[in-house]
Structure 1
């Protein structure tokens, strides 16, 4: 007995294009996400590339727009640092030039202010009393959020 149902997709190119366009209209997507979804729908390679070309031509798919939306969301909502955001974009196979351009959209003042806010919030909840261990835990926390160690150390020393 197979407890997990295998989904069978049998979309023609027109249906897949329509479904992919709706999927892209709902939320910004990277080309790789769309490509993966189309392969999940068991589309052929030639069809996948044609559909992606159509989505780009109709402006449903825009890698630069996706990169900026991703950076903005992850920074403003999830409070991620540039390192973690960059890793996420690389996993989505966004070109390096677009990653740099999108990361530059984060204002330096906002970035430092976010580090400061996260640090203050974590300091209130951190139970460690030994100063060196406490500082290490704060540094580790902010580094895990994707912030650069040198910036965090600079703020911790203040």
Structure 2
């Protein structure tokens, strides 16, 4: 069975990718993946990427900032998780640093405290050690720093 692929001209692909980038901030890696899925040749990919960057449809710093803000405000992720996710998207160290500055320190600690307390009320485990572990695992998975996690667990679930 032959598979038919739609082929795009550079102009068509550029228009399609402009819409893709306008809908939501994208990183370079996502856009390149999309262009490869569209079966564009490397020269066309380079040309389209250049146009998207030049016309400000694609801006890695803007992407990193909005990603950090969104994941912190909506998903309540800590800095470690945000950094790791940005690294997986090949965002530069420089842009990651700038993105983390989008998170207010006061808000960061307030969110962490609220998240830890809320999660603790949801843990039905009776055994103190297991309660501590469940809370720690949850907070680590969300990317919160270990010193903060251990300190908060000591405060919320002290050893008897």
Q: Shift in Å at residue 148 of structure 1? A: 1.0
**Which TM-score applies when normalising by structure 2?**
0.91
The counterpart of 1:59, out of the listed 53, 56, 59, is: 56
Q: Which runs of 5+ in 2 are unaligned?
A: 156-160
Cα root mean square deviation, aligned: 1.5
Tell me the secondary structure at the aligned position of residue 25 of structure 2.
coil
Q: Shift in Å at residue 149 of structure 1? A: 1.1
Tell me the secondary structure at the aligned position of residue 61 of structure 2.
helix
Tell me the secondary structure at the aligned position of residue 147 of structure 1.
coil
Q: Shift in Å at residue 132 of structure 1? A: 2.1
**Which TM-score applies when normalising by structure 1?**
0.93
Q: Which runs of 5+ in 1 are unaligned?
A: none
Paired residues in the alignment total 155
> How far apart, in 2, do the equivalents of 1:66 and 1:88 lie?
12
Q: Shift in Å at residue 33 of structure 1? A: 0.6
Taking the TM superposition and a 5 Å limit, the aligned residue runs for 1:5-154 are 8-154=5-151
4+ residue segments displaced more than 4 Å: none
